[in-house]
Amino acid sequence: MSTHSLNHTIADTTVLTGRSVRHITRSLDTIITTAVMPVAIMVLFVYVFGGAIDTGDAASVDYMLPGILLITIASGVTYTAVRLFTDMQSGIFERFQSMPVARSAALWAHVLTSLLANAVSLVIVVAVAVLMGFRTGAGPLAWLAVAGILALFTLGLTWLAVNAGLSAKSVDGASAFAYPLMFLPFISSAFVPTETMPAPVQAFAEHQPVTPIVNTIRSLFEQQPVGTDGWVAVAWCVAILVLAYALATATYRRKTA
């Protein structure tokens, strides 16, 4: 790609991202709604089930927060799929094709908007967790590492959402893909130690992406060594991102051919 072509793509992506962000700012209830369900789950697990869950020396909210953050992201990317489906149905992509707009700009605009919207939702959830007693001695580098992992995870799930939005036949179908993603943290180390699970469930829990991501974030918050979980978490995030990106771009080419 030439420098001129790259600059053209960046400029188009910036303009279209501004368009998507304006749609969200006119409907802030989208971000609030995205944060409400994870907050409700956090309140339920901390204040209702917290006493029945062995969290070791950690406070319940400290133990639960990493999993809640992943549920927040899974909930948030649903709206990316819905917004993309709506754009497809409205014919906006056909209009873009008749204009000198970079083909990839429309998709990247939705992806960048998802990153921004999910970042706001995550900040809201962390703020509520602090009000509930969440405390960490993690330094700036640890927080940056947490932010990096969450950003990678958001990118991967967002490209899955892009594929869902492009492939769906209805708005319900566009949003339904996220339900299994939101369920994954419940079969992981997010809320209970995997050692307490039946053997088949434990095997699944320890070999799916959420567990190493949760363990890594939890260790960073607790200022404990991350160990191999960190590399496994990054590997899972990158693998999901690469696969989802390939699927989404292939679907986009097919839909706009």
Tell me, what amino acid is at 69? L
Tens digits of residue pLDDT in 33-67: 777 888 888 888 888 876 667 667 778 889 999 99
Tens digits of residue pLDDT in 163-206: 988 888 888 888 787 788 888 999 999 988 888 899 999 999 99
The model's pTM is: 0.89
In terms of C-beta distances under 8 Å and separation of at least 24 residues, what long-range contacts does 39-45 make, across chains too?
A: 39/68, 39/124, 39/125, 39/128, 41/68, 41/71, 42/68, 42/125, 42/128, 42/129, 42/132, 43/132, 45/191
Cα–Cα distance for residue pair 27/58, rounded to 1 Å:
37
Q: For the chain, how far is it from start to end, CA to CA, in angstroms?
A: 21
Cα–Cα distance for residue pair 177/222, rounded to 1 Å:
33
Share of the chain above pLDDT 70, in %: 84
- 37 three-state secondary structure: helix
Output the pLDDT for position 10. Answer: 74
Tens digits of residue pLDDT in 209-255: 999 999 999 999 999 999 899 999 999 999 999 999 999 989 888 87
Q: What residue segments make up the domains of the chain, in order of their start?
A: 3-256
